[in-house]
Amino acid sequence: MTTIYFIRHAEPDYTNHSDAERQLTQKGIEDSELVTSYLRDRDIDVVFSSPYKRAVDTVRHFADSYHYPIVLVDEFRERKIDSCWIEDYTKFCKMQWENFDYKLTDGESLREVQTRNLEVLIDILKKYKDKSVVIGSHGTALSTVIHYYDPTFDFAQFQQIRYLMPWIVKFTFDDEKLMGIEKIEIRRSKLCL
């Protein structure tokens, strides 16, 4: 069995509008230690991450604590919305979930995000068969992966996890066949450091 732990990043600083460079808030930095606490006894073999700062920094505490290099994978980056900041994010998201091919002029559709995430995930499943893998990820990118394996995961469920950061989703595979998905909320009251 291959276990994939997708780690949705901790709380980012939304005052930074640069998607690639958006850093974690102080709370986000502290909460990244919860990820370490959860992963420390999981016999992890390799750590991948989106190249975006908030995703890397969420898995960095774990990787540094246990001497793993973080392998950056561009295909795990978050969806590009457009070249400019949009004000009505909820309306935009709803439109994308209702039509997986909908996108703004300089952005990506959810189908495009899903396709690039799944292509690299399948490669990882082939190369790391029977291993335990960590992937630093993002809410929308991860949601498209969940939706692929569980089409009932929709806009309403996306809204429920919108502010859930960090968030872990554990996928278990037998070769490339999905055996299970476990959604794990980690909070200070649930995990002790």
| Statement: the pTM of the whole predicted model exceeds 0.75 | yes
Confidence category of residue 83, pLDDT binned at 50, 70, 90:
confident
Q: Which range marks the domain in which residue 169 is found?
A: 7-45+57-185
Confidence category of residue 136, pLDDT binned at 50, 70, 90:
very high
Q: For residue 192, what pLDDT is reported?
A: 41
Q: What per-residue string of b and e applies to 73-97 under the rule 16 or more CB within 10 Å gives b?
A: bebbbbbebeeeeeeeeeebbbebb
Q: Which two tokens stand for residue 4?
A: 């994939």
List, in order, residues 6 or more apart from 34 with CB less than 8 Å away.
166, 186, 187, 188, 191, 193
> Does the pLDDT value for residue 191 go beyond 60?
no
User: Which CATH number is 163's domain given?
Assistant: 3.40.50.1240
Residue 52: inside a domain: no
Residue written as tokens 């994010």? Answer: 89
The residue that leads in pLDDT, 129 or 163, is 129
Residue 148: inside a domain: yes
Question: pLDDT per residue over 19-41, tens digit each?
Answer: 889 999 999 999 999 999 999 99
Number of domains in the chain: 1
Q: Which two tokens stand for residue 35?
A: 């990820």
Distance, CA of 22 to CA of 41 (rounded, Å): 29
Report the interhelical angle of 26-39 vs 53-65 (nearest 10°): 50
Residue 2: inside a domain: no
